[in-house]
Chain A
């Protein structure tokens, strides 16, 4: 373990839920009232905050030696998150107030995560101390990531646009896959005895921005009349990604691992 104090995961959870919701609502509010799509990229900002939260939760669950299970945990999170999110957004659609949707979705996915975490720990007897709360966290993070990137693709998170632009087009497949990947990849890539939280979370931001670029390209479908919103997402995502990739590379170099241009194998001291 490094001497640098680790970020508390409850703080990251607060950042993910509050920051994520604010970003998603802001994107929806600005887009709807100004009747434009330029603020769709804010959805990705919310998603990235949730990705940092989710990646940290995955990291804490999988530290108990679930080596090959890391991708499975991410897929499980998205399975839970997708169902609860759809139900939540449908509730918002049903009561007629769109703003209810995301809150209902998060509450439902947190509850679902709690139930599945309970089953994993107590019924299947996995006995992992962080499993219960970790399941709650990854389900909630998956829900915000889904809504955030839906906002990026469709310009709005309401149920009707999600159906029209995400499900009928088939964009749900990449949304599921490269939405989950930034959450599961950082720990999967960085695991080991010398894993470091800040490096892992830097990688989470980098992967989130990479997905943002891809969803920006996909939002060309939604914004085909005026491609400027899609262009804004792609350009901002690209600039952010370059910065984050270099930051990650610097963290790798700072970590003390030998980086060689080329060469044969070094002699190892016994």
Chain B
């Protein structure tokens, strides 16, 4: 623990927000590399309805669980290294995140091979080049996410004085970033490209399940193309979502804890949520009014 002053605490909150933004963006892109979230069931279903493809199929588990174990493992190993060898926290966090993301990559490869072997009768081959080019990208993005989340969990414990040990904080934030990537990032993955030949806003009828987009602008489409596409909106928006959550949460806690015996922070949080809900509702109504269901150009 260092002696917290309000300036130091607010600076830490800003740094944590920045880390969270990076973590969120990396998380969303990583899940796109592996077709982990929304599209995973479609990618898996596609061979069964005759659509062979070159997508990576990473069924480690849902995104929240996957990020829970990735981040808490990285943080725990960092803690052990800090204690055992008195390593600098930054280096320890990097080593922890490296070990955890390598483990994550191994899980991704076994899942890719396992899922395709489990349905070999549908004729989907295992492409080794997909395995060898996509897995390093998965590991790299998982490393960035694990490192960023480990770092801001450590800051939360060390400077803001959050009483939980930081591997537990990392697990909680990992689950949160996974949930957020599922909710925010998916909109840009699933709804726009993967199901592009369906009318806007119609959802996915059962009859069209598994009809994924096989061909891209240059040859066959694969998971790396998807990430290249999502880097424009899905990744940054997920990062923005997590960053603003972490920052506004730390900010209201630092500034308002001193009032009403700690209840000030609670009231500020409640007000913040209220403002957010109202703002979202206004935005939604405005969007629905200005962008209604898709219409063909009039003759």
| Partner-B contacts on A (CB < 8 A) | 68, 70-71, 75, 168-174, 176-178, 181, 184-186, 188-195, 199-200, 203, 206-207, 210, 213-214, 217-221, 223-224, 227, 230, 245, 248-249, 252, 255-266, 268
Contacts and interface: CB of A to CB of B under 8 A. Distances in A.
B118 interface: yes
Interface residues of B, number: 56
Contacts of B119: 192-194
Contacts of B76: 169-171, 173-174, 214, 218
A14 to B, nearest CB: 27
Given A206-B110, A207-B110, 6 more contacts: A170-B167, A171-B76, A171-B167, A189-B59, A214-B100, A249-B113
A207 B118 CA distance: 18
Nearest to A260: B125
Nearest to B81: A220
A71 B125 contact: no
Nearest to B68: A177
Contacts of B113: 248-249, 252
Contact of B114 (A178, A213, A252): A252
Contacts of B107: 181, 185, 207, 210
Q: Identify the interface centre among A172, A181, A207, A219: most chain B CB within 10 Å of its CB.
A: A181
Given A188-B59, A217-B99, A257-B117, A262 B129 contact: yes
Given A174-B72, A194-B119, A199-B117, A188 B61 contact: yes
Contacts of A173: 68, 72, 75-76, 167-168, 170-171
A192 B166 contact: no
22 contacts: A170-B164, A170-B168, A177-B68, A178-B69, A190-B117, A193-B118, A194-B120, A195-B118, A210-B106, A217-B80, A217-B81, A220-B83, A220-B84, A245-B106, A248-B113, A252-B126, A255-B117, A255-B120, A256-B120, A259-B126, A263-B125, A264-B220
Q: Identify the interface centre among B54, B75, B168: most chain A CB within 10 Å of its CB.
A: B168
Interface of B: 41, 50, 52-54, 59-62, 65, 68-69, 72-73, 75-77, 79-81, 83-85, 99-100, 103, 106-107, 110-111, 113-121, 123, 125-129, 164-171, 214, 219-220
What are the 8 closest A-B residue pairs judged by CB atoms, nearest first?
A: A170-B165, A192-B118, A189-B114, A177-B69, A170-B167, A192-B119, A220-B84, A258-B125
Interface of B, secondary structure class, is helix
A233 B214 CA distance: 45
Nearest to A249: B113
A220 B80 contact: yes
A258 B126 contact: yes
Q: Identify the interface centre among A71, A177, A260, A263: most chain B CB within 10 Å of its CB.
A: A177
A245 B52 CA distance: 27
A252 B117 contact: yes
A133 to B, nearest CB: 24
Contacts of B75: 170, 173
A266 B123 contact: yes
B94 to A, nearest CB: 14
A185 B165 CA distance: 27
A199 B117 CA distance: 10
Given A220-B83, A260-B127, A265-B214, A193 B110 contact: no
A193 B115 CA distance: 10
Contact of A189 (B80, B115, B169, B171): B115
Contacts of A203: 110, 114
